[in-house]
């Protein structure tokens, strides 16, 4: 069983503070596919946040993805 260190509110605050900054992300896409992405957090909404990758693609993720470990953020 995984021990929860951060709550959902803590994650929202962390992502809000990283808005507009370049970050390195690890995204678990399932079936042993882990993607390394360099991106910028564009917008922060109540239940999701959007990123813009280096190749100008927009992607949307929920805060719960960060909470369960499917997304790992490394700020630079």
Q: What is the CATH number of the domain that holds 25?
A: 2.30.30.100
Cβ atoms of 49 and 36 within 8 Å: the answer is no
Return the structure tokens found at 7.
């709550």
1 assigned to some structural domain: no
pLDDT confidence band for 74 (50 / 70 / 90): confident
Indicate if the pLDDT at residue 76 is higher than 60: no
Asked whether residue 3 is assigned to any structural domain, the reply reads: no
Q: In the prediction, which pLDDT does 7 show? A: 86
Mean pLDDT of 62-73: 91
Q: Specify if 15 maps to a domain.
A: yes
- Residue-wise pLDDT for 5-46, tens only, equals 678 899 999 999 999 999 999 999 889 899 999 999 999 999
pLDDT at position 21: 93
Tokens at 25, concatenated: 């992300």
Q: CB atoms < 10 A from the CB of 49, how many? A: 24
């Amino acid at each position: 069983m995984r021990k929860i260190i951060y709550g959902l509110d803590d994650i929202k605050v962390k992502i809000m503070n990283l808005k507009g900054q370049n970050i390195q992300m690890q995204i678990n896409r399932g079936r042993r596919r882990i993607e390394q992405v360099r991106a910028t957090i564009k917008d922060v909404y109540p239940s999701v946040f959007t990123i813009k990758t280096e190749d100008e693609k927009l992607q949307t993720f929920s805060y719960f993805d960060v909470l369960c470990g499917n997304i790992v953020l490394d700020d630079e």
